């Protein structure tokens, strides 16, 4: 096979797949329904098979990718507009446990047994006993949503009569010895302030800090390159 042609087809296929992924959105990865899984596989196969088939030209790859992406994009729009089609292509959530009782019909319809059910609870929700579960819903993408029985729920601040504190996102200021300047400005500080904070922790230059962050209610935190 001509290496030059293979290189061109791989680059072309890479760019085309990147564009297709951008058009179709993040659901192809983050919310993978059976239909999404098939569409993602076909997109990859269209490029993969064509790269190693010398009879297939670049324009054939482009046409196949455009057509398939257009079909998937059309289906996505239709499922957003028509609820009935959404059930056909994406499926419905299934209530596997209802009011603490396992629905055996739903288990059979979703091709699950008790061992698989327990494994899903342990791996996805850290629940080691079915007795803790009031409701369990199997989502179309294979993930589960669980509502615990009240006596097994973790107590909230309201339950403990504690004052609720505002929540703040940590802002990364240094990553691998490099100052993240946009984040530093967002935190309301400058490099001089950052260097002073490091010096208080016996770090004399930015390159010696592996990681540093700022949280509004907790202040400054850093890790040195040597792990201390």
Same domain for 17 and 63? yes
- For residue 61, the enclosing domain spans 3-88
Q: What is the DSSP letter of 25?
A: -
What six digits make up the tokens of 94?
């299934």
Quick one: pLDDT band at residue 198, thresholds 50, 70, 90? very high
Which secondary-structure segment (H or E) carries 197?
helix 191-199
Asked whether 173 and 194 are in contact (CB, 8 A), the reply is yes
For residue 48, what pLDDT is reported?
66
Asked if residue 162 belongs to a domain, the reply is no
3-state secondary structure of 82: coil
Task: Tell me how far apart the alpha carbons of residues 12 and 156 are, in angstroms, rounded to a whole number.
Answer: 53
Q: How many CB atoms lie within 10 A of CB 66?
A: 13
Same domain for 17 and 54? yes
Phi-psi group of 62: left, alpha or beta (phi > 0 → left; psi -120 to 50 → alpha; rest → beta): alpha
For residue 63, what pLDDT is reported?
74
Asked if residue 145 belongs to a domain, the reply is yes
What is the CB-side half-sphere exposure of residue 14 using CA atoms within 13 A? Answer: 6
In the chain, beta strands by DSSP E: 94-98, 101-102, 133-138, 144-148, 171-175, 178-179, 209-215, 219-224
Residue 67's closest CA among 88, 39, 90?
A: 39
Same domain for 81 and 25? yes
Same domain for 79 and 116? no
Asked if residue 138 belongs to a domain, the reply is yes
Task: Provide the domain count of the chain.
Answer: 3
> What CATH number does residue 114 fall under?
3.30.240.20
Same domain for 83 and 11? yes
Helices (H) and strands (E) in the chain, counts: 9, 8
Quick one: pLDDT band at residue 146, thresholds 50, 70, 90? very high
Same domain for 99 and 59? no
Say yes or no to pLDDT of 30 above 90: no
Mean pLDDT calculated for residue range 55-82: 73
Same domain for 114 and 58? no
Question: Sheet holding 171-175: strands in order across?
Answer: 178-179, 171-175, 209-215, 219-224
Same domain for 81 and 146? no
Quick one: pLDDT band at residue 13, thresholds 50, 70, 90? low
Asked if residue 184 belongs to a domain, the reply is yes
Same domain for 74 and 123? no
Residue 73's closest CA among 101, 39, 46?
A: 39
Mean pLDDT calculated for residue range 12-16: 66
Domain-ending residue, one of 88, 108, 131: 88
For residue 70, what pLDDT is reported?
79
For residue 127, what pLDDT is reported?
92
Concatenating the DSSP letter of every residue in 85-150 gives HHHHHH---EEEEETTEE-HHHHHHTT--HHHHHHHHHHHH----GGGEEEEEE-TTS-EEEEE-G
Asked if residue 110 belongs to a domain, the reply is yes
Same domain for 52 and 74? yes
Same domain for 27 and 12? yes
Same domain for 114 and 84? no
Q: Tell me: the pLDDT tens digits for 89-109?
A: 666 789 999 999 999 899 888
Asked whether 194 and 178 are in contact (CB, 8 A), the reply is no
């Amino acid at each position: 096979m001509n290496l030059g042609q293979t290189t061109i087809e791989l680059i072309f296929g890479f760019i085309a797949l990147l564009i297709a992924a951008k058009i179709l959105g993040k659901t192809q990865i983050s919310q993978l329904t059976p239909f999404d899984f098939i569409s993602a596989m076909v997109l990859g196969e269209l490029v993969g098979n064509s790269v190693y088939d010398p009879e297939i030209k670049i324009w054939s790859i482009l046409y196949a990718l455009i057509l398939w992406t257009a079909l998937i994009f059309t289906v996505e729009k239709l499922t957003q507009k028509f609820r009935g089609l959404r059930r056909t292509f994406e499926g419905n959530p299934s209530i596997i446990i209802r009011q603490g009782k396992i629905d055996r019909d739903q288990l059979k319809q979703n091709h699950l047994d008790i061992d698989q059910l327990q494994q899903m609870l342990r791996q996805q929700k850290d629940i080691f006993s079915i007795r803790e579960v009031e409701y369990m819903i199997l989502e179309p993408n294979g993930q589960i949503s669980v509502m615990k029985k009240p006596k097994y729920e973790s107590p909230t601040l309201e339950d403990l009569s504690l004052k609720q504190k505002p929540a703040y996102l940590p802002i990364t200021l240094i990553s691998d010895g490099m100052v993240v300047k946009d984040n530093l400005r967002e935190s309301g500080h400058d490099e001089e302030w950052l260097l002073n904070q490091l010096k208080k922790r016996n770090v004399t230059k930015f390159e010696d800090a592996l990681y540093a962050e700022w949280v509004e209610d907790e202040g400054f935190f850093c890790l040195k390159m040597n792990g201390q």
